[in-house]
Amino acid sequence: MSREAAARRDKARRRAARLAHAEPDAGGLPNHDERRAQGITGTQKQTSRARRPEFRHVLITVVIAVAVMAVAGAALGLVPAIEAADGNGTIGTFSVGSQLCIPHRGGCAYTGTFRAPDGTEVSHVAYEGSLPAGASSFPARYTGYQQAYPLDGSRGWAVDLMFMILIGGVVSFLVWLLPVGLGQQRGGVEL
Question: Are the beta carbons of 175 and 108 closer than 8 angstroms?
Answer: no
Q: How far apart are CA 119 and CA 139, in angstroms?
A: 14
**Single-letter amino acid, residue 9:** R
Q: How far apart are CA 157 and CA 147, in angstroms?
A: 13
* pLDDT band with cut points at 50, 70 and 90 for residue 109: confident
CB-facing half-sphere around the CA of 180: CA atoms within 13 A: 15
* pLDDT band with cut points at 50, 70 and 90 for residue 170: very high
Global pTM exceeds 0.75: no
β-strand partners of 121: 115
Q: How far apart are CA 138 and CA 184, in angstroms?
A: 61
Is beta strand 147-149 parallel, antiparallel or unpaired with respect to 121-127?
parallel
Distances, alpha carbon 88 to alpha carbons 34, 44, 144, 148, in Å: 71, 56, 10, 11
| Mean pLDDT comparison of 21-35, 51-65, 82-96, 153-167, highest-scoring range | 82-96
Which H or E run includes 42? helix 31-76
Question: Are the beta carbons of 140 and 92 closer than 8 angstroms?
Answer: yes
Query: Tens digits of per-residue pLDDT, 10-54?
Result: 888 888 777 766 655 555 555 666 666 666 666 555 555 555 667
Instruction: Please give the average per-residue pLDDT across 94-112, as a whole number.
Output: 78
Please name which of 40, 56, 97, 75 lies closest in space to residue 182, comparing C-alpha atoms.
56
- Supply the pLDDT for residue 188: 47
β-strand partners of 92: 140
Identify which has the larger pLDDT, 108 or 116: 116
Query: Tens digits of per-residue pLDDT, 9-19?
Result: 888 888 877 77
- Supply the pLDDT for residue 191: 42
Query: Tens digits of per-residue pLDDT, 120-131?
Result: 999 999 888 878
